[in-house]
Structures are given as C-alpha cells and as structure tokens.
Amino acid sequence: MANKVYETATITLFDGREIYLIPLKLKYLREFMVQFDNVKSAHGDHEAIDELVKCAAIAMKQYCPELSTVEKLEDNVDMMTVYRIINIAAGIKVDPNEQEEVKQQATESGSTWEDLDLVKLESEIFLLGIWKDYEDLERSMSMPEIITTLSSKRDLDYEEKKFLAAVQGIDLDEESGKKEVDPWEAMKARVFSGGKTDNPDDILAYQGVTAAKAGFGIGMGLDYEDNR
C-alpha cells in the first residue's frame, strides 16, 4: 500500500460537482485558525456551529473560491459536508451523532497555534532554499507537509552526524540523549495525534507517515476507539 502524508477526501455539491480536499496550506490555515478561536468562545452549540460554517467558508478559498462565503457554501452543501471540510482542512473532527456537544468535540480535537512554534518551523524549512519568500512557502506547504519534510531532514542530518561520530568511536545516541523523548518528537506526536498526546509511543501518535515508518499498513495506522 502506498504511503501518504495526510488524509484527503472528495465532497459532492448539491449540483453534482466534486471538490477534492487536502489539508489547508498555511496561507489559509492561519485565517482558518483565527476564525476558529470564535468557536472556543461561542455560547452554546448553535453559535459554535455558525462559527464552524465560517471556518469551512474560509477553507473554500483554497478548494473552490466561488464558494468562499457562508451564503454560497450553505447553498451548495449540507452540514455533514461542512464537518468533512473542517476535518480535512485542519484535522478538526465533529460527529453530530455523538452525545458530546459539537463545541466540545471541535475544540478538543486538532492542534492549536499554542501547540506549535510556527515561526521557528517555517524558518527552518525556508533554509532548504526552495521558496522565494515566506509568502511563497505558506502558499505551497500545509502543516502535515512541513512536519513530514522537517522530520525527514532532521533524521537525515542526525544520521550523518551519527555516522561521523561512530567513525571516532562515539555513540551519539548516548551522548546526545537521543534515546530520551525530545521536544521535537513530542511536538510531532501532538500534531499527528490531533493534540491528544505528546508521547511518541502513544498509539494516538501513530498516524499518517509516522504509522508508515512503524510498519503499519491498513489505513496508515491502527484503528482504535477513543473513549476519553
């Protein structure tokens, strides 16, 4: 089974058109998350749902700009499709069939800007020299793409240092404390688990490319039921 970095989906509009969804590029994710702060402060589910629709409309700026207003979006999709959009766009999961309130589901799933030092991540990946400026970078990369790219880059850099150290008889793992969980690994675990854990060994962290590296094939991870 081919590996994949993130989940994708195709939604169908009321008129039969199909729209392909992938995680939002940073340019739109920034605006999405600013709007999502209103979901956290919403008074009750009705207000929270209204704010989630606004988030979905922002996401449509990437997927289908002509539907990037609340009015246009509501004329073309049902609420279940809105939930699908925000799930793929930003990893925010809402199931109206659950007993838990919509607001609580939305705010307890997915990562927030507080979980990530985005400026540091962007600065590090910008050094690869592929983008002409940061705006170009933010138009090109989504958060899963940034995390996966940096993870591979750091792994390669570390393996090179490890080899050079081994030539001199030094166990770099032992010297650097690599065998202990470092902040980078904890941050990756938070991203891949949707903010549910910062422990890289927790099953919730084994999703997407992390699961692929661990050898899981079906669904790129393990099926589980989260009863928390």
Together in a domain, 125 and 97: no
Residue 15's domain spans which residues? 9-110
Residue 2 inside a domain? The answer is no
Report the C-alpha gap between 99 and 124 in whole angstroms. Answer: 42
Q: Which of 81, 110, 139 is the last residue of a domain?
A: 110
Report the C-alpha gap between 39 and 47 in whole angstroms. Answer: 8
Together in a domain, 64 and 144: no
Strand partners, 25: 142
- What pLDDT score was predicted for residue 43? 92
Residue 172 inside a domain? The answer is yes
Q: Are 221 and 211 in contact (CB under 8 A)?
A: yes
Residue 4 inside a domain? The answer is no
Residue 225 inside a domain? The answer is no
Per-residue pLDDT of the chain (228 residues; tens, 9 = 90+): 456 778 899 999 999 999 999 999 999 999 999 999 999 999 999 999 999 999 999 999 999 999 999 999 999 999 999 999 999 999 999 998 888 999 999 988 765 556 667 788 888 888 888 899 999 999 999 988 888 888 888 887 778 777 777 777 777 666 665 555 566 666 666 666 655 666 655 545 555 545 545 444 434 444 444 455
Together in a domain, 132 and 215: yes
Q: Which bin fits 77, alpha (ψ -120 to 50), beta or left (φ > 0)? A: beta
Residue 181 inside a domain? The answer is yes
Residues 6+ apart with CB under 8 A from 195: 108, 109, 110, 111, 112, 115
Together in a domain, 96 and 123: no
Together in a domain, 120 and 212: yes
Together in a domain, 163 and 101: no
- What pLDDT score was predicted for residue 102? 92
The structure's pTM equals: 0.69
Residue 56 carries which side chain, given as an amino acid letter?
A
Burial class (CB in 10 A: 0-12, 13-18, 19+), 197: middle
Together in a domain, 94 and 145: no
Together in a domain, 92 and 128: no
- What pLDDT score was predicted for residue 201? 56
Residue 206 inside a domain? The answer is yes
Domain count, the chain: 2
Q: Are 58 and 73 in contact (CB under 8 A)?
A: no
Residue 122 inside a domain? The answer is yes
Together in a domain, 103 and 122: no
Q: Which of 110, 125, 144 is the last residue of a domain?
A: 110
Report the C-alpha gap between 150 and 137 in whole angstroms. Answer: 14
Together in a domain, 90 and 131: no
Together in a domain, 124 and 194: yes
- What pLDDT score was predicted for residue 221? 42
Together in a domain, 106 and 178: no
